[in-house]
Amino acid sequence: MIGTSEAQTSTQRVSEILIDIASQFFLAVIVGLVMAVVANTFVEGARWFLNLSRVDSFISMQIGGANYNLDIFLTLASAAVLILLVRRTLGITMWSGPADSIYAVQQSREPLDIRLGMGSTLAAFIAASGGGSVGQYGPLVHFGATMTEVLLKYIRIKIDRRVFIACGVAGAISAGFNAPIAGVLFAHEALLRRISIGAIAPIAVASIVAYAANQAFFDIEPTFSVPDMPIELQPLIPFLIMTAVLSAGSAVAYMAAIRKGRELATRSQWSMPKLISSCVVVVGCIGVVLPDVTGLGLTQVNQMIDAQFTLGMLIMLLAAKIFVTAYCLNTGFFGGVFGPALFVGAATGAIAAYLALIMGLSPHLSYALPVAAIAAVGGAVIGAPLAVIMIVIELTGSYAYGLSAMLCVILCSVLTLRLFGLSYFDRQLLDRGVDLRLGQEHVELSLTPVSEIEGSDFVRLSDDASLEQARQALSEASATEAYVCDDAGSLIGKIDIHSLTNAVSLTEAIDPNPTVLAADANVNIAMTTASTFVGESIPVVNKGVLVGALSEGDIFNKVLQIQASLRQQ
């Protein structure tokens, strides 16, 4: 009978495991299919709307014999009106993006806001379609993460929420770039920030399905168009080092400009309609003269790789793209930062190629420099150098381009890490007070309030108690400390067995300024406080009212529980 019962239990356990695995794979397949459809609709839809205004000019004028297309004002103004409508309809005051997706994966207490995520993706599509200098990949990544929150809300399947969010992100990268391996790498490198055997399977399924759906249902054009290049790394090394340094400078300038733009927009105290109207005017004027800096910029990236711009024009495009992107992103035209970063990298690499040709580099090797710079700037901005290297390999189909990009990416990432930080997304979170450099455990502890710690028993005394009553209460509780409160429960102070020895009244024995913890303080603060505390317990107060007391053991037991939970995940 015992053997039969054990066999039934074992069979049931195996059955549950198989059902869990099948369910997770099913969800991953759904995520991959949805992301393929959404990514292609987003990119191709935005490109179609943008090309419509550039092919069929509605408003133009001639100055000095040159014809200028003024449609950019019309498209930007239309996009501005629609974005303001989205904000008002959905009640959005601040957009959300990849930084929020990363934060959602690094902690378990604050899920993604579905309404905000969907609204932000719609606003990004409108901005890109209207000619705003914004990227499409960041909104797609955040949409993938938000979509998984929707599925988890309505489908009860046993799967780690953080892993499932990573599935959506992997599907977005795979579908957006047509690069499934890069999708898996990005999910681990930028979101999970760890390699997990249990997580790889569903993430890989979502990424592969998104890629397969691209191949089956959509006509995908190569993102980068590059000629074949022989593997001749030795003559390229000095020029790749030069390109890496230039790329680091461009990446830092790009990220710093966006952050400075946000600061200036906040300091201006302009309303959102006024800010977005100024963007229509300023970006529209620049777009009339330099139309290449508006929109997604994918065509221009390939033109830069193919050396179709003069050196002077490349410098102008580089500076203008950084300015226009910073202006758009901080005045209401929400979108990603990775797409414009590819443009900035292409311009930087094309400039490096010009310089390298002057210094004697063979022309057939010069194509490697723009591609390497694209990867370097992109990898520095999003904080995923390995994923970007894999994107280069998958999009070019060339080990030679990937190898040359790797040297440039790694060196650029080291420089930007020292000069700016790990990535633009990490810097966004740091500006909000979330420091991911301290690890996932620190984030989780900082979100766990002291009120959730199970406290110890403590002695509470009224302020009219006598010395004898105090001594008796401590003796009965086998305690050495007690807390004195008034009739409303507010903490007056703390007494201990030693202060009662020579005191003539309870008031004389009270320490009126004991170490305390606020009930809404987090566990990190509690640990710091406990590390320098000497005594039996620390009182916990809520607006001055004593609500509990914690010993050092209580605090560190909670820390151990959180650590064990994270290890299990």
Per the CB < 8 A criterion, the answer to whether 90 and 275 are in contact is no
Residues of the chain with CATH 3.10.580.10: 448-568
Report d(CA 55, CA 60) in Å as an integer: 12
CA-nearest of 288, 323, 314, 261 to 131 is 288
pTM: 0.86
Report d(CA 332, CA 563) in Å as an integer: 40
The whole-chain average pLDDT of the chain stands at: 88
pLDDT digits (tens, 9 = 90+) for 478-502: 898 999 999 899 999 999 988 888 8
Local confidence band at 167 (pLDDT 50, 70, 90 cut-offs): very high
pLDDT for the residue 115 = 92
Does the structural domain 233-437 have CATH classification 3.90.1150.10? no
pLDDT for the residue 199 = 79
Would you say residue 320 has pLDDT above 60?
Answer: yes
Over residues 414-419, mean pLDDT:
92
Would you say residue 335 has pLDDT above 80?
Answer: yes
Over residues 196-223, mean pLDDT:
85
Report d(CA 149, CA 493) in Å as an integer: 47
Helix pair angle (137-154, 2-55), 10° resolution? 140
Residues of the chain with CATH 1.10.3080.10: 15-217, 233-437
Report d(CA 449, CA 109) in Å as an integer: 11
Would you say residue 40 has pLDDT above 60?
Answer: yes
Report d(CA 210, CA 83) in Å as an integer: 29
Would you say residue 225 has pLDDT above 80?
Answer: no
59-63, 279-283, 565-569: which range is least confident on average?
59-63
Q: What is the DSSP letter of 484?
A: E
pLDDT digits (tens, 9 = 90+) for 102-130: 999 888 888 899 999 999 999 999 999 99
Question: Tokens 């007391």 label which residue?
Answer: 549
Q: Which helix (H) or strand (E) holds 481?
A: strand 481-485
Local confidence band at 8 (pLDDT 50, 70, 90 cut-offs): low
Per the CB < 8 A criterion, the answer to whether 76 and 295 are in contact is no
Over residues 399-428, mean pLDDT:
91
b/e map of 249-276 (b: 16 or more CB within 10 Å)?
bbbbbbbbbbbebbeebeeeeeebeebb
pLDDT for the residue 295 = 85
| Side chain identity at residue 433, one-letter code | G
Report d(CA 501, CA 535) in Å as an integer: 17
% of the chain surpassing 90 pLDDT:
52
Q: Which CATH class is domain 15-217?
A: mainly alpha
CA-nearest of 33, 14, 15 to 25 is 33
Local confidence band at 197 (pLDDT 50, 70, 90 cut-offs): confident
Q: Which CATH class is domain 448-568?
A: alpha beta
